[in-house]
Amino acid sequence: MTFNNFSDKQIAGQRLMVGFEGTELNSDLKYLIRELKVGGIILFAINLSSPEQIRELCVSAQKFALSCNQPPLFIAIDQEGGQVARLKAPFTCFPGNPSMKTTEDAIDFAKITASELKGVGINMNMAPVMDVPLENIQSVMTERAFGHDPEWVAAMGSTVIQSLQGNGIMAVAKHFPGIGRTVLDSHIDTPFLDASITDMDVTDLLPFRAAISKQVAGIMLSHIRYVQLDKNLPASLSRHIAKVILRDQMGYQGIVMTDDLDMGSIQKYFTIQDAIHHILDAEVDIALICHKSPDIESAFETIYSSIQHSSKQKTLAFQSLHRIFQFKKAYSLT
């Protein structure tokens, strides 16, 4: 399936990845696929009970999308290991990135994780974490990062990317342009970071350059406000960070997505409509909304309206679909 003959609603829906409640193909999930025509779903503990159940959920969702003349779905999960691992036993439980001491550890994690994800119908892992926590602060990422050395983070993250993708699972490097310097959790409120692009280039950005060199499928933007890069908007809504720095200066041609728009760092300061308008202006490909709420429908309607009323936005939407579909095709989803 190609997107050249897509309706405006199909174009809009492909730019959403959403969460839902339930462990089966229920009416809510059917609505998201059939009516909002979402391009992807993301799974959390609320959706998971056993390997057999997860497989049935993923297979039935894909079959339903096909029956609605929709392209196959991205089906994503956060399976970093350690603190953030949605799949529990009987899936393999890894101790997490700080425990990886060799590239062989990274390869083992990625190969086993890819096999287990593919086995239940998941095709995208929101990993690896490419953040570099500084040693002299209480970084929110210390327990999730590979370590404090940017070159080590780059090497380990690149190994995970290569191994995940070499074994059929799309990797998503996060959280651009780096949240290792922050101490406030963006789930709660907006962290502010006063660091120059020069400072960040030799630390925070180095692992993401490595991820780009390995053709990572996706890069997730953080909700941090980097005041020297964009004094008004967090990275996830910032054209300067997403378009100028990541795309134009660093040359990334894959899928750019936001972190979860349900987080306090966004919801406390932006309506979903305003957030989506900023996201579209920044040429971000996918908006991530991880929990069931009216915001999902509002986001869809905002994207749909922008396509209908702006020829520029329709052109940009086709560019996003081109990036999205290059990976849906590469990973045999179409």
Domain with residue 116: its CATH number is 3.20.20.300
Judged on CB neighbours under 10 Å (0-12, 13-18, 19+), 319 is exposed
Residue 185 falls in the annotated catalytic set: no
150-176 per-position pLDDT tens digit: 999 999 999 999 999 999 999 999 999
Residue of 78, 259, 281, 295 marked catalytic? 259
In a domain, 110, yes or no: yes
* Residue 148 lies in domain: 12-330
Q: How far is Cα 284 from Cα 242, in angstroms, rounded to an integer? A: 7
Phi-psi domain of 147 (left: phi exceeds 0; alpha: psi -120 through 50; beta: other): left
* Cα diameter, the chain: 54
In a domain, 6, yes or no: no
In a domain, 122, yes or no: yes
Whole-number pLDDT of residue 188:
62
Q: Are the beta carbons of 172 and 219 closer than 8 angstroms?
A: yes
223-238 per-position pLDDT tens digit: 999 999 999 999 999 9
Whole-number pLDDT of residue 171:
98
Q: What is the mean pLDDT of the chain?
A: 95
73-99 per-position pLDDT tens digit: 999 999 999 999 999 999 999 999 999
In a domain, 254, yes or no: yes
In a domain, 45, yes or no: yes
**Average pLDDT rounded to a whole number, residues 123-148:** 93
The number of distinct structural domains making up the chain is: 1
284-307 per-position pLDDT tens digit: 999 999 999 999 999 999 999 999
Secondary structure (H, E, C), 59-106: HHHHHHHHHCCCCCCEEEECEEECCEECCCCCCCCCCCHHHCCCHHHH
User: What does DSSP assign to residue 136?
Assistant: T
Closest Cα to residue 288, out of 254, 251, 327, 261? 261
pLDDT > 70? residue 1? no
In a domain, 1, yes or no: no
